[in-house]
Chains A and B, each alone.
Chain A
């Protein structure tokens, strides 16, 4: 492999790892926010348990989203400085907005939510998780806007060998953005909801306590999985109306075709199963133990499909970094050596890969143990006289 292949491989692997965690973050955040709201309104211990249990899974997953995201942010400057030299005046703006506004607020309020348990007034504590959800969506919007600019460089003109921003409105109403953003939000919601379904089915199958807890969780999961898959598939097909000219045609079509057609096939199948089998049977699923192995087996599928979707979108863009303006080869940092990229590739992939494995083991452990001894909100529990014996 030459330097360019290695640099692309590094971006593809770290980007895919990042999205595996981000897609679940995007899905669990609103679900946990809804559970927390129900807890605050009803004061029921069941709702508190759901908030803390699914919240704990959400924050453990979040850790890997952060650390892979750090690598993504700095990778542009390390391997792809040709991009910022040619189009940084345009492409940099949405990325700057993502970090300066969306992620800044998201990180600050997530800290308040996790560590403010029992310290913040109830309403403000709930507000924190809603702000985290909103800013996570805003982050997704800005990142998708930046990516859409690569697909279809709207709102910019080339002047003096560089792209210049002339129409910010066009940047944020890009035809490759308007349907792709709700598509991603839907995919996140679907993924998060299917984790609720799979983990609840696992617990309903193997334990006799907590039946009510996981029955409610499973039904919530099926409900939001239905909404999620409906949005994902609907806006997925809608995207074909906004493709840049020439995408999925010509040389890149063969390479992008495999992930594209696999994603669509599995996506359609999932929609059929969720909308026409799981949703009508929502009342019976928690009790029908024979369905549980199938529900558990479905949990990883949305993650695979989400990565296939990105592969189709990004491979379909080749050989362009910015569609018909800048090639990927020209976007690579001049002077990047195979020694440098090998060093960073091995470092990032090893460390992030191992951490991702550990993170999944930790999430699986929380699922297996069920809603007891949860670390999220534990300090508050010990202080509260009602709960200490």
Chain B
């Protein structure tokens, strides 16, 4: 039972990196590739249908952390206090940017929220590297440790590359290059590599901190029957918004 929940937790966390990674990557690339408002609209429209289905993976990770590893939940989040606050604010600002950017037509309004999307994506991408280093060292190291900061640069670059691959897959006309679904899968796996390393490395620790069997049984009974529905819903998103002629529609709600 502990193993099942560890696997689920690991899949959710790695999955978050592999799919939300490209949303963050596209956000990072907004000021780089998004020449003019039309370009940025195109980039956001390409990722927009996926964002809600992707970011929710991290919400699920946090819920699983609370339910499956309650003893660790406080330790992990409190151990990274200022970082978690900054990353949450980055996430909030990124989401607000996406929801708000097209609600008013003025160029200054659009530019401001596009900047917020980019800044929020940067805060999250970089923050993940720092957080992973801190987790790997058992939260003993400083959050400003050079290796942590370096890992922050690495995750940022990985997400940016993943975001670019995503654009080439879904909007090849815009990106000026074309990538297959397989290339996107590979860049997703690469983006998830750091977090997979840390999760596998802390497997024993996580297993030992699992909630007691009574709690896990109730969780299994109430969560696992819905797992197929969740999977079908996620697959449906990918089917509905797969690339092709007329895949990226403007104006998009985001």
A and B co-occur in one complex: yes
> Which residues of chain A have C-beta atoms less than 8 A from B179's C-beta?
none
Q: Are B102 and A375 in contact (CB under 8 A)?
A: yes
Contacts of A13 in B (CB 8 A): none
Contact A88 B78 (CB under 8 A): no
Closest residue of chain A to B58, judged by CB?
A70
Complex interface bits, B207-230 against A, C-beta within 8 A gives 1, otherwise 0: 000011011001101110010011
**Chain B: minimal CB distance from A300 (Å):** 21
Checking B92, B99, B103, B219 against A70 with a beta-carbon cut-off of 8 angstroms, the contacting residue is B92
Q: How many residues on chain A are close to B (CB under 8 Å)?
A: 70
Give the distance to chain A from B114, nearest Cβ to Cβ, in Å: 15
Interface string of A74-97 (1 = CB under 8 A from B): 101110111011001111110111
- Do A93 and B51 have beta carbons less than 8 Å apart? no
Tell me, yes or no, whether B251 is within 8 Å of chain A by CB.
yes
- A165 contacts B218, C-beta separation under 8 Å: yes
> How many pairs, one residue from A and one from B, have CB atoms within 8 Å of each other in the complex?
221
Mask: chain A, 91-107; 1 = CB below 8 Å from B; 0 = not: 11101111111011101
Q: How far is the CA of A358 from the CA of B85 in the complex (A)?
A: 22
Q: What is the distance, in angstroms, from B139's C-beta to the closest C-beta of chain A?
A: 12
Q: Pick the contact of B226 from A78, A101, A343 — CB < 8 Å?
A: A101
- CB pair B215–A89 under 8 Å, yes or no, is yes
Complex Cα gap A185–B84 (Å): 32
Give min CB distance, B57 to chain A, whole Å. 8
Knowing A67-B95, A92-B211, the reply to whether A333 touches B78 (Cβ < 8 A) is yes
Partner of A343, one of B85, B218, B222: B85
Query: Do the beta carbons of B67 and A164 come within 8 Å of each other?
Result: no
A117 to B, closest residue via Cβ: B253
Considering the complex, which residues of chain B in the window 22-64 have a beta carbon less than 8 Å from any beta carbon of chain A?
48-53, 55-56, 59-60, 62-64
Q: Considering the chains assembled together, what is the distance between the CA atoms of A70 and B61 in angstroms? A: 12
Footprint of A on B, CB under 8 Å? 48-53, 55-56, 59-60, 62-68, 70-71, 73-78, 81-82, 84-86, 88-89, 91-93, 95-96, 99-100, 102-104, 211-212, 214-215, 218-219, 221-223, 226, 229-230, 233-234, 236-237, 240-241, 246, 249-253
Q: A91-B70, A107-B59 are in contact. List 12 more A-B contacts (CB 8 A).
A: A67-B91, A78-B77, A78-B85, A88-B70, A92-B211, A95-B63, A95-B67, A97-B67, A97-B222, A99-B62, A115-B252, A168-B218
